């Protein structure tokens, strides 16, 4: 991302494999400040209780070698696919 700021994020619905969203964009900012707290917030949201990403979600040993980075992405296009819905129509 530092060399080429163009990115694509693709997410599938685990319950509906034919449903997805694709976001294409350009990285506007990359920073370490606040990234660790952001990981803790996301991990806590998924766990449904307060947790620490390093230690509760992945081994604490990774904290010494992994450096979290927050990336601010400016979307250039968004594509949504829901092929399941088309097949279910009467």
- Beta-carbon count within 10 A of 58 CB: 14
- Tell whether 27 and 38 lie within a shared domain: no
Question: How many domains, in total, are found in the chain?
Answer: 2
- Tell whether 7 and 22 lie within a shared domain: yes
- Tell whether 27 and 37 lie within a shared domain: no
- Tell whether 19 and 6 lie within a shared domain: yes
- Tell whether 22 and 37 lie within a shared domain: no
- Tell whether 63 and 37 lie within a shared domain: yes
Residue range(s) defining the domain that contains residue 10: 1-31+72-90
| DSSP per residue, the chain | --S--EEEEEEEETTEEEEEEEEEEEEEEEE-TTHHHHHHHHHHHHHTS---IIIIIB-GGGGGT----EEEEEEEEEEEEEHHHHHH--
Check residue 83 and give its pLDDT: 86
- Tell whether 4 and 23 lie within a shared domain: yes
Distance CA 89, CA 68 (A): 44
Check residue 17 and give its pLDDT: 84
Q: Which two tokens stand for residue 44?
A: 């806590």
Check residue 59 and give its pLDDT: 95
What's the mean pLDDT when you consider all of the chain? 92
- Tell whether 88 and 64 lie within a shared domain: no
- Which tens digits make up the pLDDT trace of 32-76? 999 999 999 999 999 999 999 999 999 999 999 999 999 999 999
Report whether pLDDT(90) > 80: no
- Tell whether 27 and 2 lie within a shared domain: yes
Report whether pLDDT(87) > 90: no
């Amino acid at each position: 991302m530092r060399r080429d700021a163009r990115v694509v994020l693709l997410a599938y619905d685990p319950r509906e494999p034919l449903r997805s969203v694709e976001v294409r964009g350009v990285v506007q900012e990359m920073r370490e400040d606040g990234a660790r707290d952001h990981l803790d917030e996301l991990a806590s949201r998924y766990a449904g209780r307060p947790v620490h990403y390093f230690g509760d979600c992945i081994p604490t040993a990774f904290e010494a070698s992994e450096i979290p980075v927050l990336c601010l992405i400016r979307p250039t296009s968004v594509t949504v696919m829901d092929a399941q819905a088309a097949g279910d129509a009467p």
